[in-house]
Structure 1
Amino acid sequence: MNIESISKLKENFKLRNIEVEYFETLEEVKSNILNIIPIECTVGIGHSITLQKINITNYLLERGNIVYDKELAKDRDECKTLKKKALITDWYITGSNAISIDGRIVNVDHSGNRVAAITFGPDKVIIVVGKNKIVDTLDEAIKRVKNISCPLNAKRAGFNPPCVALNRCVDCVSRERVCNSLSIIEGQSDSNRIKLCIVNEECGF
């Protein structure tokens, strides 16, 4: 991203009470997260290839935070329990499927736990986003989510809706679909709640 685009993105999100900070690398983001989250706080994790890349769950656990991450579950019941506990944590960390320079955060979920936590529950939310997820407008963000994120995430998770073979959304009603909850965050009433960490790297889907 060029400096002009970053400045415009920051200003548009600021108007919507969402903080934006720009980082060159994921390692810088990891250091920032560990610096701003107190050790005594509980932390929820929304599944993200980007977060797995920096191993943030293990770093938080090793230093003493209580972390609720569904990837630590031994079975489906424990997975559901961890998702619920993550909804009422002090901090929640996740990725995003798309953000628009005009100031919107767009995500799609299979079970809905991640979009629920971003919307309400945790006191603070950190969203880590690679430069490949940034588009100009809300319409482009939704198209990206449906035609890029969903097929790739479905394939990664072992599901086989039509979009996996077609590489595009056909608005299916397949039992295999992973795009059950579409979320658009257009602003926040609490100006200190959501922080977007933009990274000058390509991260996740």
Structure 2
Amino acid sequence: MRKNIINTIKSLREKGYKTKLYTNVEDAKKELIEKIDTSDTVGIGGSMTVFDMNIYEALIEKNVKTYWHWKASNEEVKDIRDKADRANIYITSTNAITEDGKLVNMDGVGNRVASMFYGHDKVFIIVGTNKICKDYETAKDRIRNVAAPKNTERLVLDTPCRLTGRCSDCKSSARICNIETIIHRKPADVDMTIFLIDEELGY
């Protein structure tokens, strides 16, 4: 096992997170779906990792009430976000994770990052080992110059980073880096589990 993965898992566990390493997406997805009961309600935050793993579809197939604004019409987005905010379980990814156990994120609206640490009984963070960074500075650089440009390209947003691939701390109204959060330790009132998958997932 690579040293950066060992260091990250050790740090996360010391900070109170339930953390497990998976060698592949299929095993992680199977265990995640098994942990969720049909009596639960699930909210999902914007995440290409969750999207590519087809977690939403698996939950719907299991007859779990699941709310994700990515699967809503434009008219339904606000209502679905509100329902996701009130779900007892929340699933998303993180933009970056440091070897000393910090979860670093930037967001445009803020619903995803807020739900990572408040308002839910359980939170599941699904993250590929490609998002492991040495420290906060490299995590911030990864978000600004890797994740953000790829997301603005995916969404076809009018931001400089979509064209240049580099953050310029722009003033665009379409900017998606409006809010930054750093979770230093497991939030006090949240049962949080981190599924670390040894694959390249998401941005």
The interval holding the TM-score normalised by the smaller chain is over 0.9
Aligned residues, how many?
Answer: 203
1:18 aligns with 2:14: no
Gaps of 5+ in 1: none
Verify the 8 A CA contact 1:17 1:191 in the aligned structure 2.
Answer: no
Alignment of 1:158-197 (within 5 A): 158-190=156-188, 193-197=191-195
Secondary structure of 1:87 counterpart: helix
Matched with 1:74 is 73
Verify the 8 A CA contact 2:40 2:65 in the aligned structure 1.
Answer: yes
- In 2, Cα distance between equivalents of 1:31 and 1:193: 19
Alpha-carbon distance change, 38 to 55 in structure 1, aligned in 2, over 3 angstroms: same
Gaps of 5+ in 2: none
1:97 aligns with 2:95: yes
The letter for the 2-side match of 1:123 is D
User: Which aligned runs of 4 or more in structure 1 are off by greater than 4 angstroms?
Assistant: none
- In 2, Cα distance between equivalents of 1:50 and 1:88: 22
Deviation of the 1:191 alpha carbon: 7.6
- In 2, Cα distance between equivalents of 1:158 and 1:122: 32
Can you list the C-alpha shifts for 1:120-170, whole angstroms capped at 9, x where unaligned?
111111111112111111111111111111111111111021111221111
- In 1, Cα distance between equivalents of 2:197 and 2:176: 26
Can you list the C-alpha shifts for 1:78-108, whole angstroms capped at 9, x where unaligned?
1111111111211111111110011101111
**What TM-score do you get using the length of structure 2 for normalisation?**
0.94
The letter for the 2-side match of 1:159 is L
Alpha-carbon distance change, 191 to 111 in structure 1, aligned in 2, over 3 angstroms: closer
- In 2, Cα distance between equivalents of 1:143 and 1:135: 10
**What TM-score do you get using the length of structure 1 for normalisation?**
0.93
Alignment of 1:12-161 (within 5 A): 12-75=11-74, 77-161=75-159
The letter for the 1-side match of 2:146 is I
Alpha-carbon distance change, 10 to 127 in structure 1, aligned in 2, over 3 angstroms: same
- In 2, Cα distance between equivalents of 1:148 and 1:29: 25
